[in-house]
A and B are shown apart, each in its own frame.
Chain A
Amino acid sequence: MHGRPRKAPKPEEAAASAVKAANLRSLQAQFLHNHHNKTYTKEALDVSAKLLEINPEVYTAWNYRRLAVEHNLSQSESDPDSVKSILSEELRVVESALRQNFKSYGAWHHRKWVLTKGHSSIDQELRLLDKFQKADSRNFHAWNYRRFIAALMNKSDEEELKYTTDMINSNFSNYSAWHNRSILLSHLLGKRVQGFFPKEKVLTEEYELVHQALFTDPDDQSGWFYHIWLLDQTIKSDAPFLISSWPAHGFDLIVSVDKSPDGRASSPFTSFHSDTGTFPLILYFSQAVEGVNSSTITVESMLNSTNDLIWRPLSTNNSGTAQAWATNLNFPNVKLHSLETYPVKVSLGHSQGITSSSGFHYSHPSQFAFTVCVRPPNSEHGERQGVENILWRDENFHIYGTHFQESIPVVSFDQLSIKEDPEPTASNWHVQTIANEIALFRELLSEIDCKIGKLTLARLLMAHDTMMLYNSPNAYKVVHSEEVLELYRGLMKLDPSHSRYYKDEHSLVLFLQVTSSRESLLKHCCHYRDSTSTNIGGHICLRLNNLSLSRIGSVEQLLWVQMLDLSHNELQSIEGLEAMQLLSCLNLSNNKLSSCTALEPLRRLKSLKVLDISYNEIGAHSIDTTRYLCSSPLSHTFGGDWSFDDIVIDDVKVRNYWEAFVIFSGLNLTQLEVVGNAITDEKFKSFLVKVMPTLKWLDSEELH
């Protein structure tokens, strides 16, 4: 029982309880008898009223009263007095039931039902609400009822907003009032009601209001979420825009069908190999969008007929919306030794159709261009012996010389010529507001070391950096990342219960820092060269190992990566990798991946050949935290009528390994390491071999 002390009742209490119980039981029996016999006399109604006044949760009794009201109203339709007295009696019963339990869903609903019969007045209802909202200002039933009454009686949003101001002024520690304020204010802002436009003026006043709450008691959460909402309103851009692509604008791509680049003709950063004779074209937007297709995206080139390109959303769900989208373009069909370059021009936003999930259109017509050149097949390396086995040993990785000037295709936002601020006068306000907030929170922290101060400052600084990145990319440097990292480290100590939240945020900032410049990225780039291999060209590997990363970020800057080493981190999720369409070799060993379903993003990586997930925690946990973020019959996102019982592979029922089946049956791996996971045994390995016929190496053993 909520809030009732645990103690053995004294004998006299037990006796009193028994009397009460007998009384209640008798009322209940009488009431059910009347209900089943459709007895709606005054006496019968009194029994149900008494019952509900003691126990308002007996829902059947409210149903009975509604039947009785309908019955009795039909008997007295012509007599307004008796209609009034029937309905007044209902309002009275509700009120005394609410006095017994003001959280009774049944009682509140009954009152709504009575009101739809056209009785009572706004004043009467507001008086009742005042009483209950004063007694408990957080009673969400009362607040819900208040919204119902306001709508029913056409009370204006401005008036109701005033009510929340009064509630907040009398006690700012009222999350319910802040919540209702956010609802009302978004209506008023959305409709551009007079006095609530321009948005900037209104938001500035709201900041002042919430500062009072935050600075009076920084540990009180009531204003926290309102402040983060204001922040979001300040920095977010409604319309989606393009933030990066692969190939990037101005990029000179060299493609080949054979695997051994000779290392002389081109930088490994700009060359792409594929057996299938196609390469991906990836678009990365500022938010998830739908409607990316051959009519909203124009691709002009002489490569192939590009009218009917199939665009696929790179997301781990089946929603048809995604932040990243990809299609495949064919290699130029050219004769040997031709080094002609083929221009490709991509345009978008010229017709409506690309839409964010909140319904905003991509509205900045923009285009970018790159060239493609085919490197002819190299006959010297024509006959390869089997499939290469990648060995992720340190000695196979060589620091990549910084002398490659053309080097990494980090995206410059200016190159895309996509950012035209639709409200140029407003942009100053955004920057100024964030700067003010930063100053205020620095001041707060100089007085008191509080978690919300640190966290908000970290968020503000990141918001500031992101805004500057979009506004003036040329002048941009990540100016605050060191300070933000320090703030998150401080938060881990200050608030250890939520340390892994701060760690995840810390990882995102680290990713931003690493990817923010060519120089910092190059520090993490290595040449992979296996000393035993004849393959002298090798790969460029982005090595982000041993960085205590717990989640992945800044993927839009990493679309070019073909070989990625994320080993020896603390990754529990690899969400984001699904956009990295060029990935062919991926090392996730020695992380904290705890289930096969956590590998869902890999299902979108059609080029992935080599995967190392050794020494993780797959199979070690009874609770799977990605069970519902993975396609499966549980969420109706995997095929139609999958009968897993019908699939038996080598005496292993697929049902026992359904997660592994869902993930691995969609991959085309040639090499896989799974050793060091709880799930891994001979049975599991033989299952994997059957599910992936392309597999050539499993846990360092060549398969035959």
Chain B
Amino acid sequence: MGELEAEKHVQYILSVEKKKDDFESVVMEHLRMNGAYWGLATLDILGKLEIVDPDEVVSWIMTCQHECGGFGGNIGHDPHILYTLSAVQILALFDRLNVLDIEKVSKYVSGLQNEDGSFSGDMWGEVDTRFSYIAICCLSLLHRLDKINVEKAVNYIVSCKNLDGGFGCTPGGESHAGQIFCCVGALAITGSLHHIDKDLLGWWLCERQVKSGGLNGRPEKLPDVCYSWWVLSSLIMIDRVHWIDKEKLVKFILDCQDKEKGGISDRPDDAVDVFHTYFGVAGLSLLEYPGLKAIDPAYALPVDVVNRIFFGR
């Protein structure tokens, strides 16, 4: 088994930031806020966040904020809850939450809660349990969970629970590992994990591991490095992560590295990107790979950052 090419991944992330003119970079422009979170969180897990100038990042983030309090995915793009969480998470990484007008941001997020407890992603009303997680995670990091109706929010998430123990986007939606992470994470943060049948969901999740050692996101699908995060973090939150073979998963993730140029891909020998690089490195952190900072499975931030927010410095 190879080793984690930590230094190369750092270089890869820095190169992505500089590269702006190829087609893939342009396609990703509208979600640059997410990209920044993936890249910077990876650097922090690798212990290399200090090579980035926080002031530059923070000032760019703040130019993406709109009058309503929400953040867009890039300068000039509309506000959306997806990018608002990434902005808050990046500021948390740099310990710079104090630059925010916290009331304004939490007003934007809490304003997206609907009558049935669900959350819309923005003013256009798309409803999804992803947005429930994002709202709950974001408000909790800002110590403003009291701004929403938590009970209704939890009940809506529970209404999306399926007979296989997993969760879908909306009531009736098929279980999907990414969606399960969102719902389990939201229930974890609100102290509501008792709504989960841990054994049933744990079995469904551990059966995501396929012969190669990788994890898929739904039954009979191909494995993909990003599920190392979605599945693992969910299994950890319900204390069932020992039901998979961790060593085989470590090997699968390491096999997806581009050992020459850095970066991690979805499957071995595919093209790398910053999204899979983050989920690969974060997955290895959850697997207790040596030399990496521990990451919190619910807030998707390094444990030291989360502890700083909830237990003081």
Contacts and interface: CB of A to CB of B under 8 A. Distances in A.
Given A6-B269, A634-B306, A319 B219 contact: no
B206 A105 contact: no
13 contacts: A6-B271, A109-B126, A140-B176, A144-B174, A182-B162, A224-B207, A317-B191, A498-B209, A498-B245, A621-B288, A623-B236, A623-B241, A635-B190
Interface string A279-314: 000000000100000000000000000000000000
Interface in B101-149: 122, 124-126, 128, 140, 145
Given A4-B270, A628-B297, A658-B311, A623 B288 contact: yes
Contacts of B294: 622-623
Contacts of A105: 126, 128
Residue among A1, A315, A504 with max Cβ neighbours from chain B (10 Å):
A1
Interface stretch (A20-28, A330-338, A359-367): A20-28
A634 B189 contact: yes
Interface string A625-647: 11111011111110000011100
A504 B239 CA distance: 12
B48 interface: no
Given A635-B191, A636-B190, A173 B172 contact: no
B24 A496 contact: no
A2 interface: yes
Interface of B: 21-27, 29-31, 72-73, 76-78, 80, 122, 124-126, 128, 140, 145, 162-164, 168-170, 172-176, 188-195, 200, 202-204, 206-207, 209, 213, 218-221, 224, 236-239, 241-245, 248, 258, 265-267, 269-273, 285-288, 294, 296-299, 303, 306-307, 310-313
Contacts of B270: 1-6
Contacts of B296: 627, 634
Interface string A14-34: 100110110011001000100
Nearest to B242: A500
A25 B23 CA distance: 9
A21 B21 CA distance: 7
A632 B188 CA distance: 11
Contacts of A501: 202-203, 206, 243
A6 B23 CA distance: 15
A659 to B, nearest CB: 10
B311 A498 contact: no
Contact of A633 (B170, B241, B245, B310): B310
A496 B244 CA distance: 9
Interface stretch (A54-62, A201-209, A248-256, A534-542): A54-62
Secondary structure at the A interface, as helix, strand, loop or mixed, is helix
Residue among A105, A318, A575 with max Cβ neighbours from chain B (10 Å):
A105
Contact of A58 (B30, B238, B241): B30
A704 B192 CA distance: 42
Given A57-B31, A220-B220, A644-B311, A500 B239 contact: no
Contact of B243 (A186, A500, A633): A500
A147 B23 contact: no
Contact of B163 (A36, A66, A229, A497): A229
Secondary structure at the B interface, as helix, strand, loop or mixed, is loop
Interface string A218-243: 00111011001100100000000000
A567 interface: no
Contact of A634 (B22, B204, B310): B310
Contacts of A260: none
Contacts of A658: 311
A637 to B, nearest CB: 4
Given A500-B242, A634-B306, A636-B189, A644 B25 contact: no
Interface string A57-72: 1111011001000000
A623 B31 CA distance: 30
The 3 A-B pairs at the shortest CB distance, nearest first, are namely A637-B191, A645-B312, A497-B245
A317 to B, nearest CB: 4
A228 B241 CA distance: 21
Interface string A573-615: 1010000000000000000000000000000000000000000
A655 B298 contact: no
B231 to A, nearest CB: 13
A419 interface: no
A180 B174 contact: yes
A1 B174 contact: no
B175 A179 contact: yes
A318 B191 contact: yes
Given A318-B191, A501-B243, A628-B237, A3 B266 contact: yes
B138 to A, nearest CB: 14
Contact of A18 (B22, B193, B200, B206): B22
A628 B188 contact: yes
A105 B127 CA distance: 11
Contacts of A17: 22-23
Contact of A643 (B21, B188, B218, B312): B312
Contacts of B145: 636
A183 interface: yes
Contacts of B298: 628, 634-635
Contacts of B169: 140, 144
A493 to B, nearest CB: 14
A629 B218 contact: no
Contacts of B140: 636
Given A5-B270, A183-B163, 11 more contacts: A20-B23, A59-B80, A60-B76, A143-B174, A182-B163, A220-B220, A288-B194, A572-B239, A622-B303, A628-B188, A644-B311
B311 A497 contact: no
A225 B174 CA distance: 12
A24 B26 contact: yes
A113 B124 contact: yes
Nearest to B299: A634
Nearest to B140: A636
B125 A113 contact: yes
Contacts of A655: 307, 311-312
Given A179-B162, A225-B204, A319 B311 contact: no
A50 to B, nearest CB: 14
Contacts of B244: 497-498
Contacts of B286: 623
B186 to A, nearest CB: 11
Contacts of B243: 498, 500-501, 504
Given A36-B76, A140-B174, A179-B164, A636 B273 contact: no
Residue among B23, B190, B207, B241 with max Cβ neighbours from chain A (10 Å):
B23
A175 interface: yes
Contacts of A321: 194
Nearest to B207: A221
Nearest to A105: B126
Contacts of B21: 18, 21
A25 B172 contact: no
A319 B162 contact: no
